[in-house]
């Protein structure tokens, strides 16, 4: 069902996938600190048992076990990344280490970006539509069941994108209106919402687990 084949008038249907991990604690995880909610991500990482490191230049990626690309404005972030070979260094980092993109960060990770199209890192096998919910309902808080243990999860959406296609290697952990809101493709994670703005730390804990499991391989 997750094939990328498209039929006129018929959209891809998505199904939830279960995920479990184990690993050791306290990895060093970078948070891209150009713009957006990076401070809340750093706090969330501390609460999830990791050591956050604010990243403002490519050299600061060295020695990190993973990285979060926060929400904000993907075009602004992209413009910044396109200076000083940051984009290329980040692409190289993404090819080896765990990376978690939230909202604008998810847009930066996608294989293809629409509405409008823009350059992306292309490490997540997904097509993402920016600002998919229009102006009136551009920001909303929903609570829904996910594949994470522990009951329904609060999801804060702010001018959220929508994941409209995913490849076969992408696990879907949460949905909004039938479209993936939280996905995982090996060591890559993406959320169309802002987990750092809720008090529930299950999403960050999952990423920390992916990072520790990858680091101990
Ligand atoms: N609408 C923003 C974009 O397209 C993303 C919004 C967000 O990160 N909260 O980049």
Pocket test for ligand 1, best of 80, 116, 128, 159 (most atoms within 8 A of CB): 159
**Averaged pLDDT for residues 2-24:** 62
Pocket test for ligand 1, best of 103, 134, 141 (most atoms within 8 A of CB): 103
In a domain, 155, yes or no: yes
In a domain, 111, yes or no: yes
In a domain, 16, yes or no: no
In a domain, 15, yes or no: no
In a domain, 6, yes or no: no
Total tally of structural domains belonging to the chain: 1
Taking 60 as the threshold, does the pLDDT of residue 88 lie above it? Answer: yes
CA 159 to ligand 1 centroid distance, Å: 6
pTM above 0.75, yes or no: yes
In a domain, 12, yes or no: no
In a domain, 65, yes or no: yes
In a domain, 21, yes or no: no
Tell me whether residue 89 is exposed, middle or buried, using C-beta atoms within 10 angstroms of its C-beta: 0 to 12, 13 to 18, 19 or more. Answer: middle
Quick: pLDDT tens for 89-128: 999 999 999 999 999 999 999 999 999 999 999 999 999 9
Q: How far is CA 59 from CA 14, 93, 121, 170, in A?
A: 38, 11, 18, 30
Please give the Cα distance from 84 to 80 (Å, whole number): 9
Domain extent at residue 185: 28-215
Quick: pLDDT tens for 147-192: 999 999 999 999 999 999 999 999 999 999 999 999 999 999 999 9
**CATH code of the domain covering residue 188:** 3.40.50.880
CA 22 to ligand 1 centroid distance, Å: 32
Shortest-distance atom of ligand 1 to CA 76:
10
What share of the chain in percent tops pLDDT 90?
A: 80
CA 182 to ligand 1 centroid distance, Å: 15
């Amino acid at each position: 069902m997750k094939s990328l084949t498209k039929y006129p008038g018929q959209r891809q249907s998505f199904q939830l996938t279960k995920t479990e991990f184990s690993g050791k604690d306290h990895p060093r995880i970078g948070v891209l600190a150009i713009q957006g909610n990076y401070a809340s991500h750093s706090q969330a990482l501390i609460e999830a048992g990791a050591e956050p490191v604010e990243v403002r230049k490519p050299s600061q990626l060295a020695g990190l076990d993973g990285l979060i690309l926060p929400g904000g404005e993907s075009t602004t972030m992209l413009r910044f990344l396109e200076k000083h070979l940051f984009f290329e260094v980040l692409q190289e980092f993404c090819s080896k280490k765990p990376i978690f993109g939230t909202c604008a960060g998810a847009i930066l990770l996608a294989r293809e970006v629409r509405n409008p199209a823009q350059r992306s890192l292309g490490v997540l096998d997904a097509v993402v539509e920016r600002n998919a919910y229009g102006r009136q309902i551009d920001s909303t808080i929903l609570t829904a069941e996910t594949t994470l243990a522990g009951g329904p999860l609060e999801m804060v959406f702010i001018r959220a994108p929508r994941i409209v296609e995913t490849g076969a290697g992408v696990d879907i952990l949460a949905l909004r209106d039938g479209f993936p809101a939280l996905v995982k493709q090996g060591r890559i994670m993406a959320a169309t919402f802002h987990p750092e703005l809720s008090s529930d730390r299950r999403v960050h804990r999952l990423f920390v687990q992916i990072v520790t499991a990858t680091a101990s391989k």
